[in-house]
Amino acid sequence: MILTLTPNPSVDHTLEVDGLVRGEVLRVRATRAHPGGKGVNVARALSGADVPTRAVLPVGGGGGAELSALLGDLPRATVPIEGETRANITVAEPDGTTTKLNAPGPVLSPAEIRALLDVVEDELTRGPDWIVACGSLPGGATADFYVRVAELAARYGVPLALDSSGEPLAEAARAGSVALLKPNHEELEELTGRDLPTVGAVVSAAREVLSWGNEQALVTLGGHGAILVDDTCSWWARGPLVRARSTVGAGDCSLAGFLSQDGPPDKGLARAVSWGAAAVSLPGTTVPTPEDVAAHETTVVAEPEPHQRIDRL
């Protein structure tokens, strides 16, 4: 069973337009609403593949009620908050270009933060196989929030997978004890403070992050696939070219794919890229079904050529 934590969930509204023109009145061809937040997306993708999962998240106000309704029967533990669960907007164009407008979300009180961590601890006592902590932090949460989650995970012997960005990611990565870090290319560049134009540079940066006391790094590269690095080897995988409909949530589905089964690292990486490619081909933040994933085979290369440029893979 995989436990997910989304401290700043959302309702994600997707608007499909023929083209985004600033300052003009645009006709929307289709609208969709999905439950959002990175950990929520991971849980939805896992649940759709019949992988037991349980989501922990705060909910509040009318947005929280809408989010709860959209989640349907997804197993979850919710923490009531006074603030309003945020709504995000994605504008999707036919060529796959997506423009995201992400609201900051509510401000949680110290008591609400404590209640959220208490629920996480209670769920950890049940012995999940993983805890997956994802996304931005709400107001009121300090940058060391994920460090505190890592400490709880270590206390109960549950491996932590972390997918965040900015200071919260840096704090947790530098504190160590993360079993799997999942930055994208830009987030890894920000985390290490340098450009990473080649495969070798990505692998070197990932190894630096692992030297801080972490175990594995899964670096997603958008249309260029993903690179997995541990202390012994590196692997690169890329799926077939797909017509992108929406890139929102693709990295979350990649993480879900990687964690969905036990097995050797290269097989997990292949699943990650297949799940991510399937998600990109779907509208909004729709999560792929096993049938969608099966259509996207991948090739995995161990110890890829280090001088290959990322933009030429």
Residue 167's DSSP bridge partners are none
Distance CA 63, CA 92 (A): 22
Which are the catalytic amino acids? Answer: 252
Give me the DSSP letters along the chain. Answer: -EEEE-SS-EEEEEEEES---TTS---EEEEEEEEESHHHHHHHHHHHTT--EEEEEEE-HHHHHHHHHHHTT--EEEEE-SSPPEEEEEEE-TTS-EEEE----PBPPHHHHHHHHHHHHHHHTT--SEEEEESPPPBT--TTHHHHHHHHHHHTT--EEEE--HHHHHHHHHH---SEE--BHHHHHHHHTS---BHHHHHHHHHHHHTTT--EEEEE-GGG-EEEE-SS-EEEEE------S--TTHHHHHHHHHHSS-S-HHHHHHHHHHHHHHHHTSSTTPPPPHHHHHT---EEEES--TT-BGGG-
